[in-house]
Amino acid sequence: MLTGTGTGVGKTVVTAAVAALALSVRRSVAVLKPAQTGLVPGEPGDVDEVSRLAGDDVTTWELARFPDPLAPATAARRADVMPVTPAQAAAAAVELSRGHDLVLVEGSGGLLVRMDDHGGTLADVAWSAGAPVLIVAHAGLGTLNDTALTSEALQRRGIECAGIVVGSWPAEPDLAARCNLDDLAVVANAPLVGALPANAAALTRPKFLEMARRSLAPSLGGEFDAKGFAAEHAA
């Protein structure tokens, strides 16, 4: 399961990168988006972006779509339709797991964004499905607090953190971003397992796969070395 420390941190591109690496070694991959917000029917969503970047062999499933760019619970209420509950999302993930080697569940926003009016969140989906959670974080100032809060929420619920990925590493990182390469793993009590370059979504599919291999750690199928990357960008 992939969650962000907020919106716009690069969850979809990271999801596509993990999927691309799995596909490259002939693993079957499914990507589940429980709730897509901010789009009307017919517009390409996050699962379409994953397919564009990773490959058409990815099985994709979007459970619901709400037009307002809001938290899923709020967007569903405004659309006057039933929200997707954590139980429904977890059941869909388990169903996909029966026919695929890897199932990736991409959340909306952060870990504790409400999915329904009963307080259900992506954390409840992860707990119900027994899925480890990969945290996608932004690179710069403020990310340590956001990442620490997300990690603490996982720990308090007994959910495994699979690591931290910087979703968009800037071409010219500032002092805070460079220092954060060492500090993210400390505040999260979980390893830094990747850093994707900014504008990775603009790459062609073959170049995207090459980037994914360089930018994600062996635990995710790549060759990324956190210590080496931090040393390269030492403050």
Helices 122-129 and 86-97 pack at an angle, to 10 degrees, of: 40
* Residues 67 and 77: beta-carbon distance below 8 Å: no
The verdict on whether 227 is a catalytic residue reads no
Q: Say how far residue 203 (Cα) sits from the centre of its chain.
A: 19
CA atoms 163, 168, 172, 175: torsion sign: negative
* Residues 107 and 148: beta-carbon distance below 8 Å: no
Beta bridge partners of 104: 31
* Residues 64 and 76: beta-carbon distance below 8 Å: yes
Q: In angstroms, what CA-CA distances link 189 with 89, 160, 184, 232?
A: 27, 11, 8, 22
**Distance between CA atoms of 146 and 189, rounded to whole angstroms?**
13
Classified as helix, coil or strand, 162 is strand
* Residues 38 and 48: beta-carbon distance below 8 Å: no
Task: Give the pair of three-digit tokens for residue 18.
Answer: 């993990």
Catalytic residues: 33
